[in-house]
């Protein structure tokens, strides 16, 4: 299996302003126009960065791009959005589109016009008609008859004049299509969600299935013009393919295909099953979660053609050539080769985790114990940066001395990496490119299969108020799994981590952001920890903190604290236990202390420092000298 990367010099790419949250690809639809493929790629964002630039205004995107394989051009086809003002909405939401004779210049589409009290509309390519209907349903599908191009179906309405006028259907809630080659056989659903079929052009209807909810379902017609398929995604059960061997007549529908052996671990119930018919009778193509699949026996069994590295959001089949999207990329799959056609700019995703020098976060930390919960505060600050192995790492330091992290953001991959001085390796600390209802994997440390596998699951996005009472921000929910431990986090765009929890068991802890300073701007309340420190000017215990910076060259600062006045000794030794230098050997007052260790005359390597008091208590830490 080969993966080919290609680029085109003539892309006309929609402008994405630096730092914005990119849209997700949600579907791809293709036609062959004059023999060459043309694709329409629908992308949407739950909320855009511009959503909170004005008070109480939220922006929802559902736009469409077009890719022409003949000219290798990629451009914005239609920019669709809604603006939610709290007390009303305006905008035009792009829905489904259908083409006459695969001509991309002759189309009819459905959308939602929020400017006219929430009406759906059918709009023709020439602008001659803009037919509206009340928005009482999910955004409806639109179908052009495969037998008579003047007949168009829209929800429970039907047009006999190519979509200029529509009349309500009799006794149906929504039309599902018409059988190719059989203009008198039509399909619909009723108001109870049951499947209906008519053999007399809709004069009378029969219930063909009542097990599943057929409202707004998609029907796929086999090349033999006899078999009909209906894909479903059943919550908590995964995918299901329904098949009729006799044009969907009553009693002919049954479940087919055993999916469990083919579907990879990590598939989620929210993942849609996408099915397309091939040009040969009995041949079907499908996409589910991360797999492209093929059946040559009318859906009785499927084999895996290709396993992708993330969830597939849309798929189209033109002959035996497949085209598919994940959250941010558009690919072709032809003769076993996967080719990247286009990728969206995802650099703005790193703003879910800002890292500017001086950025600061104050968290309330609650730890579960036998006698109840213990509440403390944690102050985390970006205190500096350091060049290591050609990368710039920002130094994230907890003021309580519990941890010092070396983190870097990679805007191209939208990943956050952490460097570990003791192993001199880095790992993926967080993968922000993970789409909703998808997961990504990494090793801990990176590229070390013998180490624990780290999995990131993005569980969705929502608008939430974070400190600003008149504004809402996009907040993502993540679950991180390392070995058997699970950590749930929330990240707010432009703020960073606002909460983290690791369970309810004894010893488990949770963090809740009380205030932050991001790029010099104050959010919330950061004074709570200052007031706490004033009340607790004496350290709580005998502690030796991580040196800063670490790695270092040639000097570093070592901090320690004492609960009471006492004699202490602080020494430095090498990996063989040989004493190199005594930094402190005297009576010290209660409180915080620091000392500088200068390693100018030492060679690069690992060194240790140890603090001992007159009561025999000992603390030690590791540090790395890099010259």
| Predicted confidence band of residue 525 (pLDDT cuts 50, 70, 90) | confident
Q: What is the pLDDT of residue 372?
A: 63
Let me know whether 499 and 360 are in one domain.
Answer: yes
| Predicted confidence band of residue 446 (pLDDT cuts 50, 70, 90) | very low
> Can you tell me the distance from the alpha carbon of 200 to that of 216, in angstroms, rounded to the nearest whole number?
22
Please determine, for residue 131, whether its predicted confidence score (pLDDT) is greater than 70.
Answer: yes
Paired sense of beta strands 337-343 and 2-5, if any: parallel
Let me know whether 521 and 377 are in one domain.
Answer: yes
Q: What is the CATH number of the domain that holds 609?
A: 2.60.40.1930
Q: In degrees to the nearest 10, what's the CA dihedral of 581, 585, 589, 594?
A: 0
**Total Cβ atoms within 10 A of residue 356:** 12
Q: What is the pLDDT of residue 445?
A: 45
- Asked if residue 566 is part of any domain, the answer here is yes
Q: What is the pLDDT of residue 305?
A: 94
Give tens-digit pLDDT for 537-567.
444 568 888 787 888 889 888 888 888 889 9
Residue 164 and residue 152 in contact, taking contact as beta carbons nearer than 8 Å: no
Please determine, for residue 216, whether its predicted confidence score (pLDDT) is greater than 70.
Answer: yes
Q: Which of 514, 535, 556 is the last residue of a domain?
A: 535
Q: What is the pLDDT of residue 612?
A: 94
Q: What is the CATH number of the domain that holds 271?
A: 2.120.10.30
- Asked if residue 145 is part of any domain, the answer here is no
Between 235 and 598, whose confidence is greater?
Answer: 598
Q: What is the pLDDT of residue 443?
A: 44
pTM, entire model = 0.77
**What is the total count of domains within the chain?**
3
Q: What is the pLDDT of residue 594?
A: 84
Let me know whether 452 and 306 are in one domain.
Answer: no
Please determine, for residue 292, whether its predicted confidence score (pLDDT) is greater than 90.
Answer: yes
Let me know whether 439 and 307 are in one domain.
Answer: no
- Asked if residue 587 is part of any domain, the answer here is yes
6-10, 91-95, 221-225, 471-475: which has the minimum mean pLDDT?
A: 6-10
Residue 237 and residue 225 in contact, taking contact as beta carbons nearer than 8 Å: no
| Predicted confidence band of residue 430 (pLDDT cuts 50, 70, 90) | confident
- Asked if residue 283 is part of any domain, the answer here is yes
* Mean pLDDT of the 242-271 span: 73
Please determine, for residue 447, whether its predicted confidence score (pLDDT) is greater than 50.
Answer: no
Please determine, for residue 57, whether its predicted confidence score (pLDDT) is greater than 60.
Answer: no
Q: What is the pLDDT of residue 1?
A: 41
> Can you tell me the distance from the alpha carbon of 539 to that of 534, in angstroms, rounded to the nearest whole number?
11
Q: What is the pLDDT of residue 96?
A: 81
> Can you tell me the distance from the alpha carbon of 606 to that of 621, in angstroms, rounded to the nearest whole number?
11
**Total Cβ atoms within 10 A of residue 576:** 5
Using alpha carbons, select from 349, 356, 379 the residue that is nearest to residue 478: 349
| Predicted confidence band of residue 53 (pLDDT cuts 50, 70, 90) | very low
| Predicted confidence band of residue 134 (pLDDT cuts 50, 70, 90) | low
350-354, 527-531, 605-609: which has the minimum mean pLDDT?
A: 527-531
Expressed as residue numbers, the domain containing 222 is 218-327
Residue 157 and residue 163 in contact, taking contact as beta carbons nearer than 8 Å: no
> Can you tell me the distance from the alpha carbon of 369 to that of 91, in angstroms, rounded to the nearest whole number?
52
| Predicted confidence band of residue 288 (pLDDT cuts 50, 70, 90) | confident
Coil/strand/helix, residue 478: strand
Beta-bridged to residue 581, according to DSSP, are: 572
Let me know whether 364 and 484 are in one domain.
Answer: yes
Let me know whether 550 and 502 are in one domain.
Answer: no
Q: What is the pLDDT of residue 230?
A: 93
- Asked if residue 14 is part of any domain, the answer here is no
Q: Can you read off the two tokens belonging to residue 424?
A: 């001199």
Q: What is the pLDDT of residue 136?
A: 59
% of the chain exceeding 70 in pLDDT? 78
Using alpha carbons, select from 532, 464, 489, 496 the residue that is nearest to residue 381: 496
Q: What is the pLDDT of residue 15?
A: 39
Q: Can you read off the two tokens belonging to residue 478?
A: 């993540």
Please determine, for residue 75, whether its predicted confidence score (pLDDT) is greater than 50.
Answer: yes
- Asked if residue 465 is part of any domain, the answer here is yes
Q: Which of 491, 517, 535 is the last residue of a domain?
A: 535
Give tens-digit pLDDT for 145-203.
999 999 999 888 899 999 888 888 777 888 999 999 999 999 999 989 999 999 999 99
Let me know whether 290 and 233 are in one domain.
Answer: yes
Let me know whether 529 and 619 are in one domain.
Answer: no
Let me know whether 370 and 489 are in one domain.
Answer: yes
Which helix (DSSP H) or strand (DSSP E) does residue 529 occupy?
Answer: helix 527-535
Let me know whether 486 and 374 are in one domain.
Answer: yes
- Asked if residue 430 is part of any domain, the answer here is yes
Which helix (DSSP H) or strand (DSSP E) does residue 206 occupy?
Answer: strand 206-209
Q: Which of 485, 507, 535 is the last residue of a domain?
A: 535
Q: What is the pLDDT of residue 223?
A: 96
Q: In degrees to the nearest 10, what's the CA dihedral of 171, 175, 179, 185?
A: 10
CA 226 to chain centre: 39
Q: If you write DSSP's letter for every residue of 403-425 in order, what string do you get?
A: -EEEEEEETTTTEEEEEETTTTE
How large is the C-alpha radius of gyration of the chain?
Answer: 30
Q: What is the pLDDT of residue 144?
A: 94
Let me know whether 511 and 379 are in one domain.
Answer: yes
Please determine, for residue 59, whether its predicted confidence score (pLDDT) is greater than 80.
Answer: no
Q: What is the pLDDT of residue 63?
A: 79
Let me know whether 528 and 586 are in one domain.
Answer: no
Q: What is the pLDDT of residue 456?
A: 67
* Mean pLDDT of the 125-142 span: 69
* Mean pLDDT of the 491-495 span: 91
- Asked if residue 562 is part of any domain, the answer here is yes
């Amino acid at each position: 299996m080969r993966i080919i990367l290609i680029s085109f010099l003539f892309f006309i790419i929609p402008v994405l302003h630096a730092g914005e949250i990119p849209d997700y690809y949600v579907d791809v639809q293709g036609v062959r126009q004059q023999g060459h493929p043309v694709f329409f790629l629908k992308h949407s964002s739950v909320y855009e960065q511009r959503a909170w630039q004005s008070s109480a205004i939220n922006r929802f995107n559902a736009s469409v791009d077009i890719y022409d394989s003949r000219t290798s051009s990629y451009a914005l086809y239609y920019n669709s959005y809604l603006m939610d003002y709290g007390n009303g909405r305006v905008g035009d939401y792009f829905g489904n589109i259908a083409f006459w004779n695969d001509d991309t210049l002759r189309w009819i589409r459905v959308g939602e016009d929020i400017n006219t009290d929430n009406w759906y509309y059918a709009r023709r390519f020439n602008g001659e008609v803009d037919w509206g209907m009340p928005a009482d349903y999910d955004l409806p599908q639109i179908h052009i008859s495969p037998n008579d191009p003047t007949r168009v179906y829209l929800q429970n309405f039907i047009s006999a004049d190519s979509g200029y006028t529509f009349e309500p259907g009799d006794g149906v809630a929504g039309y599902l299509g018409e059988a190719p080659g059989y203009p008198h056989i039509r399909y619909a659903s009723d108001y109870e969600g049951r499947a209906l079929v008519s053999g007399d052009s809709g004069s009378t209807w029969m219930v063909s299935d009542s097990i599943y909810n057929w409202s707004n379902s998609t029907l796929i017609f086999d090349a033999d013009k006899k078999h009909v398929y209906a894909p479903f995604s059943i919550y908590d059960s995964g995918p299901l393919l329904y098949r009729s061997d006799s044009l969907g007549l009553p009693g002919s529908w049954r479940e087919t295909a055993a999916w469990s052996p083919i579907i990879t671990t990590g598939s989620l119930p929210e993942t849609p099953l996408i099915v397309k018919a091939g040009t040969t009778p009995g041949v079907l193509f499908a996409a589910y979660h991360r797999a492209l699949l093929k059946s040559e026996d009318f859906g009785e069994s499927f084999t895996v053609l290709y396993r992708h590295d993330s969830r597939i959001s849309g798929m189209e089949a033109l002959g035996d050539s497949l085209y598919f999207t994940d959250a941010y990329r558009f690919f072709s799959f032809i003769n076993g080769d996967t080719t990247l056609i286009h990728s969206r700019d995802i650099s703005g995703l790193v703003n879910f985790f800002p890292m500017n020098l001086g950025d600061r976060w104050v968290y309330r930390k609650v730890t579960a114990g036998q006698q109840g919960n213990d509440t403390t505060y944690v102050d985390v600050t970006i205190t500096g940066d350091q060049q290591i192995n050609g990368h710039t790492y920002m130094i994230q330091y907890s003021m309580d001395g519990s941890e010092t992290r070396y983190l870097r953001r990679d805007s191209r991959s939208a990943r956050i990496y952490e460097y570990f001085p003791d192993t001199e390796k880095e790992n993926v600390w967080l993968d922000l490119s993970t789409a909703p209802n998808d997961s990504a994997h990494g090793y801990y440390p990176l590229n070390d299969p013998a180490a624990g596998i780290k999995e990131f699951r993005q569980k969705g996005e929502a608008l939430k108020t974070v400190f600003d009472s008149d504004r809402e921000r996009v907040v993502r929910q993540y679950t991180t799994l390392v070995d058997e431990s699970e950590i749930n986090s929330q990240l707010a765009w432009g703020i960073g981590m606002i909460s983290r929890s690791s369970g309810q068991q004894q010893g488990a802890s949770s963090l809740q952001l009380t205030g932050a300073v991001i790029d010099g701007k104050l959010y919330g309340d950061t004074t709570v920890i200052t007031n706490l420190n004033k009340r607790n000017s004496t350290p709580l215990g005998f502690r030796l903190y991580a040196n800063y910076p670490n790695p270092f060259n040639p000097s570093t600062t070592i901090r320690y604290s004492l609960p009471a006045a006492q004699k202490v000794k602080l020494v430095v030794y090498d990996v063989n236990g040989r004493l190199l230098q005594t930094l402190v050997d005297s009576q010290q007052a209660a409180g915080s202390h620091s000392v500088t260790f200068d390693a100018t005359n030492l060679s690069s390597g690992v060194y240790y420092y140890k603090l001992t008091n007159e009561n025999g208590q000992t603390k030690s830490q590791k540090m790395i000298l890099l010259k």
